[in-house]
Amino acid sequence: MTSASADEPVLVVGLGNPGPRYVANRHNVGFLVVDELAARVGGKFKAHKAGAEVLECRLGGRRAVLAKPRSFMNVSGGPVVGTARFYKIDPAQVVVVHDELDLPYAAVRLKLGGGENGHNGLRSISKSLGTRDYLRVRFGIGRPPGRMDPADFVLRDFSATERKELALSVDHCADATEALVSKGLEAAQNLFHAR
């Protein structure tokens, strides 16, 4: 991402599940972050034929397409690759914002490529794009308590304690996403991984 010009668009995808039942789930934090980015640019999402809600905007001085797949999380790949192809965006310019079990609550980490850590949304995207080499913005949700199945944990709402900090944490994650888009991976990591 560091060598991309301001004219080369970037696709920022927030992951989640559609519908009111899932709105406040931990698994939907990607949607919350791209909603915050949309609010910052004063834009509204529109339905796109690729199977996503999209918003064309400028983010950190760059042309950007914000997207929320309208499919369920486990089949996010189709809408993501369809949107990327429509806007002629290379996988290296795709940024996926998602929940991460292996980070403590509200920790934000940025990376390029790597495994999917059992995240079915990422697995679907990697398969559809034909590569794991896309950017990730990982929002920590922590590990499930006791012996709770991680699949159940991610589909639960944030706890009352977590909700108190959620708006601030989403805002911080949106800042990190903007920095990634405008400054590149290494500079954004230097800014946000020190915290």
Would you name the residues annotated as active-site residues?
27
What order of strands is seen across the sheet that includes strand 52-59?
46-48, 52-59, 62-69, 10-14, 94-100, 135-140, 108-112
DSSP character at residue 118: T
Cβ-contact 182, 58 below 8 angstroms: no
Could you report how far apart the first and last alpha carbons of the chain are, in Å?
Answer: 22
A 10 A CB-CB count for 89 gives 18
CA triplet 12, 70, 73: central angle to 5 degrees?
80
